[in-house]
A and B are shown apart, each in its own frame.
Chain A
Amino acid sequence: MRIGVFICWCGSNIKHTVDVERVAREIGRLPHVAYSGDAQYLCSEVGQSEIGRAIDEHKLDRVVVGACSPRMHEATFQQLMISKGLNPFYVEIANLREHCSWVHTDKEKATVKAIDLVRKAVAKIKHAIPLFSEQLGVNKRALVIGGGIAGIQAAIDIADAGYPVDLLERDSSIGGKMAQFDKTFPTLDCSACILTPKMVETAAHGNVTLLTSSQVESVSGYVGNFSVTIRRRATSVKADLCNGCGECITKCPKTVDNEFDQGQSKRKAIHTLFPQAVPNKPVIDRENCIYFKTGKCGMCKRVCIVGAIDYEMQDELLERAYGAIIVATGFDLSKPTHLGEYHYGQHPDVVTSLDLERMLNASGPTNGKVIRPSNGQEPKRIAFIQCVGSRDRHKGNPYCSKVCCLYTAKHALLLSEKFPDIESYIFYIDVRAAGKNYEEFYEKARQGASYLRGQVSKIEPMGDREKRLLVRGFDASLGEAIEIEADLVVLATSMEPKGDAKQLAGILGISTDQNGFYTEAHVKLKPFETQRQGIFLAGACQGPKDIPEAVTQASGAAAKAIIMFNRGQVKSVPTTAIVNQDLCSGCMQCRPVCPYEAVSSENIAERVAGQTRQRVVAKVNRALCQGCGACAGLCRSGAMDIGGFTSRQLLAEVDSL
């Protein structure tokens, strides 16, 4: 073993506090150190070739560099090793800058510490083992979970790049929340007008397969090679036969509340989610269908001329293989029933913003009229309450839902244009209108509404004949209590993670943050990736977002998948767990601590004293393992190790100090 040691001055950054010549001299006396020297800038081209020359000249096979943090230049030095035909894990870096020269002032003490740190690195490199990453093949097919605007955008982008995509949606149609909106801020574009062409484009795209009424049951495998089980719920309508004539819907005798209209209208038991649904094939809601409840009726089957109704249809389990998964499951809006002061759910004229949104929609439950649900009359005065369930540490969510300020401004603007007689009062904490043209939009909305800065303490039914509501609040700009007699109260409810977001996170092996939204791999630099390689995030499942942001993230996530597909291969982490099966006792304590399910058990046959014996041992899937070492930290037999951080290496480091 011939170790070369190089101490970097880093200009004066290290040299100023550490006597680099003395470090090099003292380290040169250690056994196995064949060369020890110092240089001005090792990371520079000059420095790199100096190391290269020394490797040739002194026939070095391992290198220790005393320089800046390995987090800074480890890759640079590893690259140099590769170019010299040496394994990249035969280089070790002693952190002499961030952990020594920059944090200490006493030159003598800092030099002693630097010698210790380099000696530690020399001790570690002696036990280094060569490591290799594997090239893993990539299945060039993507799964996008969630058919809202984010999922649609991601699917179209990947499909346009020429790769097949399955777009999975839980409901019977794609479209998501955006399909429920009337207009979008800040342009007041009709939501359906910009969304439905995209929905049609998705369905018509040769590379997109729609999997509606479907859910993910399980995910196994690893980046490039996921295996996913998908449950396609029985819709009781054969999609291949149905021509979408809608006769079944017309004749169905059972009506129930229409969720798409927030329960403000009725739909049939056999229904499409909304008129422009894609695919536009009805489904039977078995919970409400008379046939499924009593065995009688069968009206839809009788009227269907193509014989598409199939009451016997069963859920179908699909096994599909994907290279990448994009999670775009969106959000829920909170139901503020637990906030008793607002009387939501108790008084019919206290509604949510989405309820109002549906009313404003020309094809919505009221054909675009705004009414008081209690009597169907047009309200004279509407009170909007902002931050209901948002920015509320005690009873709601601590975060800002980000879009409510703007959608309320949109409502105020639409009302002032369409119904100039209606007075709008908006109770707010702050108005957050950061975004292109958002501030201007809000300023415009302000002209048609009264903005009152202050929170609402209580909403009380007034008990008068019109059943009006008294909104008690505080106007902070006047510094006094204020009361508004309102006919309709609209609550800007908060965006929340989907109710089953945690469950899906468990299936996917990704994590959720303190609020239940999916966690990106890095807050700033990796907003599309998750901790699990090959699984990406798009849209409001990662945190409250407006439409442009959701679309942006979707295209970004799609790009990440496309990059992977274009390369056709992914590199596995080289520093993975290694099992010494001779030592392994098969206790399998390592399996439950592995966050990546990379450890499994294996039966091996051994010849012991002339007999064949079966034994259980641990086995690591190198493609799944990310090299955290949780298994190695607890292995009682010392059979588990982590490449680059083996027990021998770490012990050598400890022993050297």
Chain B
Amino acid sequence: MTNEGFEPKIVAFCCNWCSYAGADLAGVGRLKYPENIRIIRVPCSSRVDAALVLRAFQNGADGVMIAGCHPGDCHYDTGNYHTRKRMVLLMSLLEFIGLSRERLLVKWISGNEAERFSATVLGFTKELRQMGAYEKARDLRCVR
């Protein structure tokens, strides 16, 4: 199968205080990045339930990104530490059930790191273009 012309679908969860603001700033700075990403606003990266990530993969996301404040910078003090622990666990679980951990990206992007935001989106999109469409999680559904 060739990945020529393939455009991945990326679902991103961005914390309201840092990464969402970083994405806003990327907009204000007119930094360009590919159209593949759809950002879902969450109060804190720790709000992201593992089930949401799995659901995104099941529903056809080729990549999922979770972005929060840098360690130590969390608006709620400790939220991103919980995110880090949970997502490390989730990555192992993904691998264990035969899904690809490379398709889940966890990044710390602060409210003034517009460059980092756009670079991350660009990088992740490129990687996913290489990896191709992600059918496996979708195929796991028990469709009658």
Contacts and interface: CB of A to CB of B under 8 A. Distances in A.
A231 to B, nearest CB: 26
Interface residues of A, number: 46
Contacts of B16: 71
B38 A106 contact: no
Contact of A654 (B11, B26, B35, B86): B11
Interface string B32-65: 1101001111111011110110011001110000
Nearest to B38: A657
A644 B9 CA distance: 25
Interface of B: prevailing SS: mixed
A69 B78 contact: no
B31 interface: yes
Nearest to B55: A654
Interface stretch (B17-25, B123-131, B135-143): B17-25
A102 B27 contact: yes
Interface string A101-112: 011111001101
Contacts of A645: 41-43, 47
B27 A628 contact: no
Contact of A629 (B21, B38, B44, B61): B44
Given A109-B35, A657-B9, A657-B38, A99 B47 contact: no
B20 A103 contact: no
B59 to A, nearest CB: 6
Contact of B26 (A103, A630, A633): A103
A630 B49 contact: no
B11 to A, nearest CB: 6
A105 B59 CA distance: 27
B30 to A, nearest CB: 6
B70 to A, nearest CB: 11
B84 interface: no
A655 B55 CA distance: 8
Given A593-B82, A632-B49, A633-B49, A653 B40 contact: yes
Given A651-B52, A657-B59, A514 B72 contact: yes
A229 interface: no
Contacts of B31: 103
Interface string A158-199: 000000000000000000000000000000000000000000
B52 to A, nearest CB: 6
A99 B79 CA distance: 24
Contact of A628 (B11, B47, B55, B56): B47
B129 to A, nearest CB: 14
A511 B32 contact: no
Contacts of B20: 69, 71
B28 A98 contact: yes
A516 interface: no
A72 B28 CA distance: 12
Contacts of A98: 23-28
B47 A632 contact: yes
B4 interface: no
A102 B28 contact: yes
B43 A531 contact: no
A634 interface: yes
Interface stretch (A113-121, A272-280, A452-460, A557-565): A113-121
B54 to A, nearest CB: 10
Interface string B66-90: 0000001001111100110010000
Contacts of B86: 633-634
A304 interface: no
Contact of B79 (A117, A511, A595): A595
A105 B32 contact: yes
A556 interface: no
Given A71-B20, A116-B38, A627 B30 contact: no
Contacts of B25: 98
A113 B27 CA distance: 15
Nearest to B60: A657
B9 A99 contact: no
Contact of B61 (A593, A627, A644, A657): A657
Contact of B82 (A103, A513, A630, A654): A630
A575 interface: yes
A630 B46 contact: yes
A99 B21 CA distance: 10
Contact of A103 (B27, B44, B76): B27
B48 A70 contact: no
A647 interface: yes
B35 A629 contact: no
* Candidate in B31, B49, B59, B60 with the most chain A CB atoms within 10 angstroms: B49
Interface in A14-49: none
Contact of B43 (A104, A112, A593, A628): A628
A105 B27 CA distance: 12
A514 B82 CA distance: 19
Contacts of B46: 593, 628-630, 633-634
A650 B40 contact: yes
Nearest to A509: B77
A579 B100 CA distance: 33
Contacts of B82: 593, 630, 633-634
A95 interface: yes
A97 interface: yes
Contacts of B28: 98, 102
Contact of B35 (A112, A575, A635, A642): A112
B27 A99 contact: yes
B27 A630 contact: no
A104 B32 CA distance: 6
Contacts of A513: 72
Interface of A: 69-72, 95, 97-99, 102-106, 109-110, 112-113, 116-117, 120, 511, 513-514, 531, 575, 593, 595, 626-630, 632-635, 642, 644-645, 647, 650-651, 653-655, 657
8 contacts: A71-B16, A98-B23, A627-B43, A630-B79, A632-B49, A651-B52, A654-B40, A657-B61
Give 6 nearest A-B pairs by CB, closest first. Answer: A98-B27, A629-B47, A628-B76, A630-B46, A102-B27, A595-B77
